[in-house]
Amino acid sequence: MLTHAVDSYLSVRRACGFQLKYPGHYLRSFAAFSDARGKSHVCSETAIEWAGVARSAAERAHRLGEVIRFTRYVRAEDPRHELPPAVFGSERRHRPVPYIFSSHDIERLVQAAYQPLYHGLRRDTHSTLFALLACTGLRVSEAINLRFDDITPDGLVILRSKFRKSRLVPLHETARTQLERYLERRRRYAPFDDHVFVSLRGTPLFLGNVERAFHAIVKKLGLPHDPGRPRATLHSLRHTFAVRALETCPDGRDRITQHMLALSTYLGHGNVAHTYWYLEATPELLRQIAERCESFVTGEQS
- Going edge to edge, which strands form the sheet with 167-169? 151-152, 155-158, 167-169
The Cα–Cα gap between 133 and 7 comes to 37
Q: Average per-residue pLDDT in the chain?
A: 87
Please tell me whether residues 139 and 48 are part of one structural domain. Answer: no
- pLDDT of 285 reads 72
Straight-line distance from the first to the last Cα atom of the chain, in angstroms, rounded to the nearest whole number: 64
Please tell me whether residues 125 and 69 are part of one structural domain. Answer: no
Percent of the chain predicted with pLDDT > 70: 92
pLDDT level of residue 148 (50, 70, 90 thresholds) = very high
The answer to whether residue 300 sits within a structural domain is yes
Please tell me whether residues 169 and 281 are part of one structural domain. Answer: yes
5-20 average pLDDT score: 86
- The whole domain housing 18 covers 2-75
300 vs 83, more confident: 83
With 50 as the cut, is the pLDDT of residue 302 above it?
A: no
Please tell me whether residues 145 and 256 are part of one structural domain. Answer: yes
Please tell me whether residues 64 and 101 are part of one structural domain. Answer: no
Please tell me whether residues 180 and 293 are part of one structural domain. Answer: yes
The pLDDT tens digits for 164-177 are 678 999 999 999 99
Find the radius of gyration of the CA atoms of the chain.
23
Please tell me whether residues 48 and 125 are part of one structural domain. Answer: no
The structural domain count of the chain equals 2
Q: List the CATH number of the domain containing 138.
A: 1.10.443.10
pLDDT level of residue 154 (50, 70, 90 thresholds) = very high
134-153 average pLDDT score: 94
Tell me which of 43, 75, 107 is where a domain ends. 75
Is 263 in contact with 239 (CB distance < 8 Å)?
Answer: no
Is 161 in contact with 268 (CB distance < 8 Å)?
Answer: yes
187-193 average pLDDT score: 85
**Which residues are known catalytic residues?**
139, 162, 235, 238, 269, 278
The pLDDT tens digits for 66-103 are 999 999 999 999 999 999 999 998 877 667 778 899 99
Please tell me whether residues 64 and 103 are part of one structural domain. Answer: no
279 vs 131, more confident: 131
The pLDDT tens digits for 262-278 are 888 888 887 777 787 77
Is 64 in contact with 86 (CB distance < 8 Å)?
Answer: yes
